[in-house]
Structure 1
Amino acid sequence: MPLWVEFDWLRQAVLNDPVLQQVIRRVGPANEPMGPYTVVNGNLIHKGRLVLPKGSNLVQKILGECHTTPSGGHSGGLRTLKRVAGNFYWVGMKADVLKMVAECDICQRQKYQATKPSGLLQPLPIPELVWEDVSLDFIVGLPKSRGFDVIMVVVDRLSKYSHFILHKHPFNAKGVAENFIKEIVRLHGVPRQPPVLTNFVLGETKVAAVGLELSDRDEVLRHLKYNLQRAQNSMTKYANGRRKNMKFQVGDLVGSMAYKLQIPKGSKIHHVFHVSLIKWAVGAGHALQEIPRGLDADFIMGFEPHKVLSTRIKRMGTNDKLEVLISWKDKATEEATWEDAKEREAQFPHFTLEDKANLKGEGIVRVLEDHPKPNVKFVYTRRHKNPV
């Protein structure tokens, strides 16, 4: 029969506790129940649960067993309290359990907060002039047309006038800059330094048509700014209704929604974080961890393709996508991964997939001649239906 080896120590701790000793004396040698308390086999019981001294080391062991072990599973405060209260009781048990769960370092690091995200919406300022501030984005993954499969979209943030510029994949910063100068700067000047548009003054020109055009232009700009401001106010009100404003007293504030943090020396990550990525650390038992592997050195891609082992056609909706099984240089064959053929060809232009792959067969998965075929043990066959 299993025995709890700490029973003797627990009895001695109860006897040394003045509050519990007073309860035992009230129960008396006749073992008459005093409210919820009774004495069973020399142990003080509270409603069928073993009573522990409040400040004993056994309380911390039980809290750890019911919360941090695999059976505890780092459950929430109420679930951990229910697990503890099933067998044990001490004065202030609920407060101790909730405090321990709130200060758990693993829970704070790994669990998300089921609350509104931090950080209010910060809309960009409305430009004063056309082509003073532009946005740029790319539409990729298009079917090729005359060799082009990418569209660069440049939009003036004030007038919403747009340019759609053709590109070929892969493209680099030099090609984007050349097309930007050719199609945007040539027509509208350099952003942040656009042609100056002075406000029209009545009587400035003697040509009535020119005066009317300039007056209409100024009126259009006023309407644009007014409507953009209304849209920003509406979006800000709607977005901030689902967010909360979080302020931290310690640390340097960068802008209005970012903070500069003290991070371990030697790390290669930026030390400024948005307020939505920061939360208060409860308790004082937070040990600084070592820098994760990969963040203590320069970010250099350590993967280089070595050989194509196989190919396959993967159905993505109504389209077929070619994937290749690539073994990487200085990596084991077991670490070979399936990669998109077009993406790898764009990322490693000097590694020609067609030259590396000696394919045979016309099936969905093509196997290389020098690659051993898998040992097939079981083959699925459809069961024939009995004729009616």
Structure 2
Amino acid sequence: MILTFNINPVGKTGAADALPSRADSGQLFQAISSPIWLHGALLLEEAKQDTEIQRLIAKCTATLDQCPGYLVKNNVLFYQNRVVISRHSKFIPALLHEFHVTATGDHSGFYRTYRRLAANVYWLGMTSTIKKYIRECDICQRCKASSVLPGGLLQPLAIPDLIWEDLSMDFIVGLPPSKGFTVVLVVVDRRPPSVFQFVPGEIRVESVARELQDRDEALKQLKHHLADAQGTMKLRADKKRRDVQLSIGEWVYVKLKPYRQLSVTSRIHQKLAAKFFRPFQIIDKIGPVTYKLLLPATSKVHPVFHVSLLKKAVSGSTETVLPPELDMAESPHLFPQTVLATRDTKNGLDFVEQWLIHWQGQAIDDASWEDAEWVKNQFPDFSLEDKTDIEGAGNDTNHVGPKELLVYSRRAKVQSG
């Protein structure tokens, strides 16, 4: 530590202002804290060895007007009543850590960190040093939310000309069981329905030929309007985005949501969790706005990310660590072991049954509430009757209550006298 704080109680007679007072009020006390420099002598010794500070002392001693703001007292240089220390002092990193990382600094921004430091010491280039230190702070980069526009301009899909040229695939989940399946894979060909193009001279019936010409013109206009609509959408969307270009070999922070199970969508104090995870190196550029990262071999997540989920790391590379929920190293697949309790949670007008699951290989403190229907679908071999550890050994205890019914009735008319 560079400094410590001395707290002195100061007495004050009478009640504090803006508080209810009494005639027999006693003596109140208020605490005044002031820093005590533990290595003040070493800082002054470094200043004596610094040629730049000694040159300023000599200049201020000879002509005071040439050094506005500076003052020499007992051969010690002050700037606006602050002690001037060497810009190469070995204690500057400790000072920055004390006023930014510890509870005193609380990872504040540049202005507050600068004001705390500027109230005590000064060195040449102090502003740029503090800015650089805060930009490279790993905790600030991982935990503070970004205040800039999301990266990545909108990339409209090209209008296909051939069948099966552009496909879209998606899974529809949460369906009622049908022959043991609850998920449907949907594959869609993005090309409009194919029709034969009209060739002049092949159709001898004039009315039919005219209809085919009108049809081809309508399809041409449709494609043109689709392109115009895409351009308008891109123009409006890009007003709230910014173009971000990254290079292969750079290090970036990744925004992830490390949920232990798919149905768990909230954690205690989730807003205090890190927004980004430690920097990973870019190894390939897949598309205009997608990049492939070098993730650990035990990672569960796909290594390709949209640029909006990436934030360029200011400092160099550090140890790449994923949250435990996304790391497969020595982490077997979770399987329900015991149902500790059940409850009904209200979802709109309905009640959803949930189970407090104790997972195999996990502590009881890591038990989580899961939807009963989700557990049955994900783990069909899990038997509730054999693995229930709640009072009554059933699945209908600890319920909130019966389903609440809303009954409406017409209000009686008020008879006039």
Output the TM-score relative to the length of structure 2.
Answer: 0.66
1:231 counterpart residue number:
229
- Give matches, 1:247-262, under 5 Å: 247-251=245-249, 252-262=284-294
Amino acid corresponding to residue 239 of structure 1 in structure 2: A
2:367 counterpart residue number:
336
| Most deviating of 31-40 and 301-310 | 31-40
Tell whether 2:141 aligns with 1:75: no
Query: CA 1:132–1:94 in structure 2 vs 1: closer, same or farther (change >3 Å)?
Result: closer
Query: CA 1:360–1:264 in structure 2 vs 1: closer, same or farther (change >3 Å)?
Result: closer
Tell whether 2:181 aligns with 1:171: yes
Amino acid corresponding to residue 215 of structure 1 in structure 2: Q
Give how far 1:60 is off. Answer: 2.1
Aligned residue among 307, 320, 337 for 1:275: 307
The CA RMSD over aligned residues, in Å, is 3.9
**Superimposed CA distance per residue, residues 75-95 of structure 1 (whole angstroms, 9 cap, x where no aligned partner):** 222221112111111122112
| Separation of aligned partners in 1, 2:65 and 2:335 | 79
- Give matches, 1:78-93, under 5 Å: 78-93=111-126
**Superimposed CA distance per residue, residues 170-194 of structure 1 (whole angstroms, 9 cap, x where no aligned partner):** 7356xx36xx6xxx9xxxxx94899
What secondary structure, in the 3-state scheme, does the structure 1 residue paired with 2:37 have? Answer: coil
**Superimposed CA distance per residue, residues 226-274 of structure 1 (whole angstroms, 9 cap, x where no aligned partner):** 2211110100111112212222344543222223444556656544433
| Most deviating of 60-69 and 331-340 | 331-340
The answer to whether the 8 A contact 1:132-1:194 is kept is: no
1:98 counterpart residue number:
131
| Separation of aligned partners in 2, 1:255 and 1:361 | 52
The answer to whether the 8 A contact 1:52-1:59 is kept is: no
What secondary structure, in the 3-state scheme, does the structure 2 residue paired with 1:57 have? Answer: coil
| Separation of aligned partners in 2, 1:32 and 1:231 | 68
**Superimposed CA distance per residue, residues 97-132 of structure 1 (whole angstroms, 9 cap, x where no aligned partner):** 112212223323333432222211111111336786
| Separation of aligned partners in 1, 2:68 and 2:344 | 75
Amino acid corresponding to residue 230 of structure 2 in structure 1: Q
| Separation of aligned partners in 1, 2:236 and 2:124 | 47
**Superimposed CA distance per residue, residues 54-83 of structure 1 (whole angstroms, 9 cap, x where no aligned partner):** 111122221121112232122222221112
1:306 counterpart residue number:
337
Query: CA 1:222–1:361 in structure 2 vs 1: closer, same or farther (change >3 Å)?
Result: closer
Amino acid corresponding to residue 351 of structure 1 in structure 2: F
| Separation of aligned partners in 1, 2:219 and 2:41 | 86
| Separation of aligned partners in 2, 1:223 and 1:110 | 50
Give how far 1:197 is off. Answer: 2.9
1:204 counterpart residue number:
202
| Most deviating of 303-312 and 51-60 | 303-312
The answer to whether the 8 A contact 1:313-1:364 is kept is: yes
| Separation of aligned partners in 2, 1:335 and 1:34 | 64
Aligned residue among 151, 170, 174 for 1:118: 151
Among all aligned residue pairs of Structure 1 and Structure 2, give the percentage whose two residues are the same amino acid: 40
- Give matches, 1:25-64, under 5 Å: 25=58, 35-40=68-73, 43-64=76-97
Amino acid corresponding to residue 340 of structure 1 in structure 2: D
Tell whether 2:98 aligns with 1:65: yes
What secondary structure, in the 3-state scheme, does the structure 1 residue paired with 2:86 have? Answer: coil
Aligned residue among 8, 33, 38 for 1:5: 38
2:399 counterpart residue number:
364
2:318 counterpart residue number:
287
The answer to whether the 8 A contact 1:268-1:298 is kept is: no
| Separation of aligned partners in 1, 2:161 and 2:330 | 40
Query: CA 1:41–1:307 in structure 2 vs 1: closer, same or farther (change >3 Å)?
Result: same
What secondary structure, in the 3-state scheme, does the structure 1 residue paired with 2:346 have? Answer: strand
2:348 counterpart residue number:
317
Unpaired segments ≥5 residues, structure 1 = 142-148, 151-166, 185-189, 367-388
Unpaired segments ≥5 residues, structure 2 = 1-5, 7-34, 250-283, 402-417
| Separation of aligned partners in 1, 2:48 and 2:329 | 61
1:109 counterpart residue number:
142
| Separation of aligned partners in 2, 1:331 and 1:228 | 53
Question: Would you tell me which structure has more helix in proportion to its own residues?
Answer: 1
2:381 counterpart residue number:
350
Give how far 1:295 is off. Answer: 5.4
Query: CA 1:77–1:299 in structure 2 vs 1: closer, same or farther (change >3 Å)?
Result: same
The answer to whether the 8 A contact 1:259-1:275 is kept is: yes
2:271 counterpart residue number:
none
| Separation of aligned partners in 2, 1:193 and 1:229 | 14
